[in-house]
């Protein structure tokens, strides 16, 4: 079922939305909290981009279009996520977080492009 292929991206987006809505979200203290949260941004948005690419591929979208589309969807969601976060008490949205999210999206896109190329699907 091609519709089910969209479920991982939707679930991940919902989890990210919930985390953004959590006031005073901290995973550690001091610099370790900052490093951990930024690494989580890279990983989470890389996963979101990957899930979007796979969902698009399941809809029979070409590899190139799926890579571009998945990255675009994840980047738009990163912006929406920061705007949402800026409206949560004790949280703030930051353009730098979108840039960090974009780093994760870019890394995931490169890894997926290499994997598709290796399998002869690029």
Where in the sequence is the domain holding 62, given as residue range(s)? 3-18+41-118
Percentage helix, strand, coil for the chain under 3-state DSSP, each rounded to 5: 75, 0, 25
7-20 pLDDT, tens digit each: 999 999 999 999 99
41-65 pLDDT, tens digit each: 999 999 999 999 999 999 999 999 9
| 27 belongs to a structural domain | no
- This prediction has a pTM of 0.91
**φ/ψ (deg, to 5) at 20:** -65, -25
| 32 belongs to a structural domain | no
Domain count, the chain: 1
| 31 belongs to a structural domain | no
| 24 belongs to a structural domain | no
| 84 belongs to a structural domain | yes
| 74 belongs to a structural domain | yes
107-118 pLDDT, tens digit each: 999 999 999 998
Question: Are 20 and 85 a contacting pair, CB within 8 Å?
Answer: yes
């Amino acid at each position: 079922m091609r519709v089910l292929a969209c479920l991982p991206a939707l679930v991940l987006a919902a989890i990210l939305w919930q985390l953004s809505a959590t006031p005073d979200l901290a995973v550690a203290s001091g610099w370790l909290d900052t490093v951990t949260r930024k690494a989580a941004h890279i990983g989470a948005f890389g996963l979101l981009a990957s899930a979007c690419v796979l969902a698009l591929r399941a809809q029979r979208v070409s590899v190139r279009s799926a890579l571009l589309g998945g990255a675009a969807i994840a980047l738009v969601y990163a912006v929406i996520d920061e705007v949402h976060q800026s409206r949560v008490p004790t949280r703030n949205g930051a353009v730098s977080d979108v840039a960090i999210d974009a780093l994760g999206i870019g890394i995931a896109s490169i890894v997926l492009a290499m994997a598709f190329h290796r399998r002869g699907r690029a």
